[in-house]
Structure 1
Amino acid sequence: MTSIAIMQPYFLPYIGYFQLMAAVDKFVVFDDVNFINRGWVNRNRLLLNGAAHTFTVPLRGASQNKLICDIELVDEQGWRDKLMRTIRQAYVHAPCYAQVVALTEHIVNYPSIRLDEFLLNSLREVSDYLMLEAEIVGTSRIYQNTHLKGQDRILDICRQERADTYVNPIGGVDLYDRAVFLKQGIPLKFLRPGLISYSQGKSEHVPWLSILDVLMFNEPDAIRQLLGERDVL
């Protein structure tokens, strides 16, 4: 019995991404699809001075004509140091700062300049910290099915993994057909995040920031409870 989810890799994504990861047995990182400019692959938001602040991992020659797995990071220490300074400034007084800043330094300073490897490592680091059980499959290129598109490609990955259930974020409810999946013997379900709220110190709660914000203000046990605040329909 294997439930599966398939998502593009994002850098320190919001908690809903990890709710999906926590809801399945196998999590496929879909990195051989086209990069989206100004999307969430290489950027996210943290809480700085009470407001959402966007941070970005700089890329070399990124283009919507390139696959995520074919893009590299800017190979300079400067942006890594600058990002860590911003994170320290933003969260130095957060209750879980000490352990999470160490985790974040390890993620940000991961030595690979390949974007897919850098993102995959970050997802695995956070998953391990939270003790999630889903197996994270390192690359979608192993499936040899780039000739397929959309729903057909998702179904092919599910068949190769012998999945008995496919779980997708609720935003895909108009993209995929339950009847088509069921005809292949794979029930299709959709995950709808609940309204997540937690103390952010003196600030009024700003929702849907990077998982980094959740980590800074909550112990792992509390975060695992937040991950359960969702519906699978």
Structure 2
Amino acid sequence: MTRVAIHQPNYVPWAGYFHKLAHCDVFIFLDDAQFPKNSFVNRVKTRGDGAPGWLTIPAKPKLGTPIHAVVPGQADWPARHLDRLRNDYRKARHFSAIWPVLEQVYADLPGDNLCAANVTLIQVLAEKLGLNPEYRLASTIPNQEEKRSDDRLIDLVREVGGDIYLSGKGGANYQSPEKFEVSGIALEMTAFSPAPYDQGGLPFEAGLSILDVLFHTGWDGAASYIRNHADS
């Protein structure tokens, strides 16, 4: 049985995104979806010594631009973000273990393509966390009838030989279990429960970037965290 998960290529996303990566065989980046304004595709929350703040890749594409075609507004954003992350987390417990990897991957990022940068970051961090699903880009998978919503998801799962579609908890609000049943694809729901971890002595804030988990818990701690904290 091949379990498939599908998600937009978000920017250094929260631990729940990696929890889904940990429980699928094939992960499809939905890079042909329209760029969603004010979303997690180009921003995520991190935190230094104070309140959480947005770490944002500047991007203002024309309406209807697919994610894979978005060009950031500043080519040097990787260097800017590195400076911000260094300042935010230099006192974190596992900074010295995480920083060399992060510094290298940011230095090599394609600053002129949002999607390529996001995919690179996700794949590098996932591999370091022991996660190695097969990756595919939705834009490379045929969509002859320009299907949307469940029909498109079902087609994507079929095209990569999937038997099970692994959906996030939010999918229950719009997905039709009947459609998946008729198609012969099993629909599974997964939900990540962001259990508290030590965030440098500050009150716990859920939903921050995976980078926050890494800097505070290390590679092994983060790997255990994303695999084990799921809603029953």
Cα displacement string for residues 41-75 of structure 1 (whole angstroms, at most 9, x for unaligned residues) = 1111111223101111123x423321111111235
Give the fraction of aligned pairs with identical amino acids, expressed as a percent: 25
The match for 2:7 is 7
Question: How far 1:182 moved relative to its partner?
Answer: 1.6
Q: Distance in 2 between matches of 1:57 and 1:75?
A: 8
Q: CA RMSD in A?
A: 1.6
Question: How far 1:164 moved relative to its partner?
Answer: 1.1
1:43–1:56 CA contact under 8 A, matched in 2: yes
Indicate the SS of the match to 2:52: strand
Which of 91, 98, 103 is 1:105 aligned to? 103
Residue identity in the other structure for 2:124: E
**More strand by proportion, 1 or 2?**
1
Residue identity in the other structure for 2:25: D
Cα displacement string for residues 103-157 of structure 1 (whole angstroms, at most 9, x for unaligned residues) = 22233333422222111101101111101132222x2112111611110000001
Q: Distance in 2 between matches of 1:217 and 1:170?
A: 26
The match for 1:38 is 38
Task: Report 1:212-231 matches (<5 A).
Answer: 212-227=211-226, 228-231=228-231
Task: Report 1:25-174 matches (<5 A).
Answer: 25-59=25-59, 61-77=60-76, 79-112=77-110, 113-137=112-136, 139-145=137-143, 147-174=146-173
2:4–2:28 CA contact under 8 A, matched in 1: yes
Q: Distance in 1 between matches of 2:55 and 2:39?
A: 12
Residue identity in the other structure for 2:53: H
Question: How far 1:19 moved relative to its partner?
Answer: 0.6
1:30–1:140 CA contact under 8 A, matched in 2: yes
Unaligned ranges ≥5, structure 2: none
Cα displacement string for residues 180-222 of structure 1 (whole angstroms, at most 9, x for unaligned residues) = 2122221101111123211011211111101110010112222
Unaligned ranges ≥5, structure 1: none
